[in-house]
Chain A
């Protein structure tokens, strides 16, 4: 009997601390009697060391010193190779994997890394061997791509370009000859020079053979995403806050409702009030002066954070959790475990 897996998706803009929060959540959830895995994307080196990640690999490895916790880091190229082998015929797979357009798409199509991450998440859920999966997401489009990637990828492969180029719903390879005869394409070919369009079309024909199976897969992935707990991480800086707003607006399209917004690097608002009062208990006048000026700066910043976050979570009816700004970078197991200690409302979420 396979296990029911609890999945937590950690999303948000680049630079807000998604990978750190994912690792901290995973350490918090980990239990020696359970199997928990954290799937990271592009961790900083020191965090990768802490998690025992020695190489880019989709296969989870045990996290040193945390019984019951495994970690992996996304290898998008390997994921795409897996996708091609699973969803296309063997001869097509061989052609695709050696095609330089395929490599360009797998490496550079913005949703491609996100699609690889969703595919890995789904594979792990379906394995039925994990109690909990924490999913760190690629920063592309403020995290939105992770949710849009399944349908975008199916669209690309089902492609309007291919239909336009060939004029057929389900073209066979012989349509290529007709395709090169189209007058408009002769012009395009002249402008672009050489056989560029022809190469692309041939590649797309191969890709097209995967469409039905991949579209069905995309639908399954979306169901996994809808069942998961989604946490949106942000800081109080204007750019990530704007991303959160955009995220909520656009997520309704894919029927995803985040469970919480998690404000990272938060400052206590009490500092703002304390900055207005005289400092007591510091006899050294110079030290008092320095600390007073410092408290006024940080208190002002705390006030700004509060203003920036005002109404953000209420607006969408989800709780706002705050993770304090800490001086010590949270990269050791101990610091990561402590990071979420005083976060109210976290356990209800997990």
Chain B
């Protein structure tokens, strides 16, 4: 009834065959239920260019893996909705710019989160300068489509590009792969442009990430010949080149976020669309260093309640932290009011790790 998702991993990861959504970690199957080990693709034979996350980057020193991610040309940042991926994207962009790089921070879906963390009111399709070395932009689909068709596929000027892109714009709402390829295309075009040392893309949340990462393959599967197909294979090879591109997964030490992160690691280790450069656990609570019993023994009141809340949450987090790679951890930030303050603080912390 159960199959192990990843037998090498510490802890127990499984999914129920009869109910694939009932998957998780940390629990042992009830007695009497079958437990079958299933080898994942990367243990057997995978021929793509990127390696398995664990074998190549998994347990590396956090400073090294952070530096390596910033030294490549493209960094995609993803995670379950609500874990702080825009904050981490902005923080890493700030760090890279401080280190003297010319950086583009690019929001792939919905500019609001990244804009707020970069401390600007909005982001536009055209990169704008935020501070020395740091530029911000956001992908909006109709502009991206124009660029995809006009600039990248080199349509002859005589063709009615505007009309054509209107047609394809509505098509993009229906045909699989087009919305995604145009969106994943933008950060890669920016890398090709050669104007930036580093493009950091605040990527779609994990639930949607796969359809973006696989968009080039989807297109090559659907379109037998032509410029679009050629373009798609070029995108695919930039994305999967471990010297150029990597993916950072952000999570929080909670059940759903950890579960989705582990599923993403397994899927990408299998699909090999991009190198996983690292995993960041965000909003981690450090243990107080005093026993819960000692706290429980003091008189009722806010100090006891806050102490027990912290201890309880930290204990529960520790369980989930066990089942993700020992990579970078960022602390829970108390009392920070604005997204801009959060990003600046995270940038200081990350810089300290490097």
Query: A residues within 8 Å of B by Cβ?
Result: 13-16, 42, 44-46, 48-49, 53-56, 73, 100-101, 104-105, 108-109, 139, 156, 159-161, 164-165, 184-185, 187-188, 190-194, 196-197, 200, 204, 237-240, 242, 268, 270-271, 274-275, 279, 281-282, 284, 286-287, 290-292, 294-295, 297-301, 303-304, 307-308, 325-329
1/0 per residue, CB under 8 A from A, across B2-44: the answer is 0000000000000010111111100100000000000000000
Q: How far is the CA of A45 from the CA of B295 in the complex (A)?
A: 31
Output the least CB separation between A23 and chain B (Å): 14
Q: How far is the CA of A275 from the CA of B335 in the complex (A)?
A: 13
B306 A298 Cβ-Cβ under 8 A: yes
Q: Which residues of B contact A240 (CB under 8 A)?
A: 82
Given contacts A16-B82, A44-B255, A184-B167, contact A238 B306 (CB under 8 A): no
7 closest Cβ contacts across the A-B interface? A327-B312, A15-B82, A193-B226, A300-B335, A14-B81, A45-B24, A104-B176
Q: How far is the CA of A297 from the CA of B302 in the complex (A)?
A: 12
Q: How far is the CA of A165 from the CA of B81 in the complex (A)?
A: 36
Q: Which residues of A contact B151 (CB under 8 A)?
A: none
Output the least CB separation between A309 and chain B (Å): 12
Q: Which of B83, B175, B298 contacts A291 (CB 8 A)?
A: B298
Q: Which of A15, A46, A268, A304 contacts B302 (CB 8 A)?
A: A268
**Chain A residue with Cβ nearest B222:** A196
1/0 per residue, CB under 8 A from A, across B159-177: the answer is 1100110011011011110
**With an 8 A cutoff between CB atoms, is B242 at the interface?**
no
Output the least CB separation between B227 and chain A (Å): 6
**With an 8 A cutoff between CB atoms, is B55 at the interface?**
no
**With an 8 A cutoff between CB atoms, is B309 at the interface?**
yes
**Chain B residue with Cβ nearest A55:** B19
Q: Which residues of A contact B311 (CB under 8 A)?
A: 327
Query: B residues within 8 Å of A by Cβ?
Result: 16, 18-24, 27, 80-83, 86, 112-113, 116, 149, 153, 155, 159-160, 163-164, 167-168, 170-171, 173-176, 205, 211, 222-229, 255-257, 259, 288-290, 294-295, 298-299, 301-313, 316, 334-339
**Chain B residue with Cβ nearest A303:** B335
B307 A294 Cβ-Cβ under 8 A: yes
Q: Which residues of A contact B304 (CB under 8 A)?
A: 291
Q: Which residues of B contact A194 (CB under 8 A)?
A: 222-226
Max count, chain B CB within 10 A of own CB: residue among A13, A14, A204 = A14
**Chain B residue with Cβ nearest A200:** B175
Q: How far is the CA of A92 from the CA of B338 in the complex (A)?
A: 53
Q: Which of B23, B159, B308 contacts A327 (CB 8 A)?
A: B308
A164 B313 Cβ-Cβ under 8 A: no
Q: Which of A108, A159, A193, A271 contacts B306 (CB 8 A)?
A: A271
Q: Which residues of A contact B312 (CB under 8 A)?
A: 326-328
Q: Which of B24, B298, B313, B339 contacts A238 (CB 8 A)?
A: B339
**Chain B residue with Cβ nearest A329:** B316
Given contacts A16-B82, A45-B255, contact A291 B19 (CB under 8 A): no
B310 A15 Cβ-Cβ under 8 A: no
A13 B225 Cβ-Cβ under 8 A: no
Q: Which residues of A contact B170 (CB under 8 A)?
A: 160-161, 164
23 A-B pairs with C-beta separation under 8 A = A16-B82, A46-B24, A108-B176, A139-B81, A156-B174, A192-B226, A193-B223, A193-B228, A197-B171, A200-B175, A238-B116, A238-B339, A240-B82, A270-B302, A279-B303, A282-B298, A290-B289, A291-B304, A295-B302, A295-B303, A295-B307, A297-B335, A298-B306
Q: How far is the CA of A333 from the CA of B259 in the complex (A)?
A: 22
Interchain Cβ contacts within 8 Å, total number? 196
Output the least CB separation between B28 and chain A (Å): 13
A48 B22 Cβ-Cβ under 8 A: yes
Q: Which residues of B contact A300 (CB under 8 A)?
A: 334-335
Q: Which of A196, A294, A327, A328 contacts B175 (CB 8 A)?
A: A196
A188 B167 Cβ-Cβ under 8 A: yes
A304 B80 Cβ-Cβ under 8 A: no
Given contacts A53-B22, A196-B223, contact A304 B164 (CB under 8 A): no
B255 A294 Cβ-Cβ under 8 A: no
B290 A287 Cβ-Cβ under 8 A: yes
Q: How far is the CA of A279 from the CA of B227 in the complex (A)?
A: 71
Q: Which of A42, A48, A281, A299 contacts B298 (CB 8 A)?
A: A281
Q: How far is the CA of A190 from the CA of B155 in the complex (A)?
A: 11
Output the least CB separation between B155 and chain A (Å): 7
Given contacts A101-B176, A294-B310, contact A287 B301 (CB under 8 A): no
Given contacts A193-B226, A281-B299, contact A238 B335 (CB under 8 A): no
Q: How far is the CA of A292 from the CA of B307 in the complex (A)?
A: 9
Output the least CB separation between B184 and chain A (Å): 14
Q: Which of A45, A301, A308, A325 contacts B22 (CB 8 A)?
A: A45
Q: How far is the CA of A237 from the CA of B252 in the complex (A)?
A: 14
Output the least CB separation between B15 and chain A (Å): 9
Q: How far is the CA of A291 from the CA of B309 in the complex (A)?
A: 11
B168 A188 Cβ-Cβ under 8 A: yes
Q: Which residues of B contact A239 (CB under 8 A)?
A: 82, 86, 113, 116, 339
Q: Which of A108, A190, A292 contacts B211 (CB 8 A)?
A: A108
Q: Which residues of A contact B167 (CB under 8 A)?
A: 164-165, 184-185, 188
Q: How far is the CA of A221 from the CA of B67 in the complex (A)?
A: 52
Given contacts A15-B83, A187-B159, A291-B307, contact A301 B255 (CB under 8 A): no
A192 B223 Cβ-Cβ under 8 A: yes
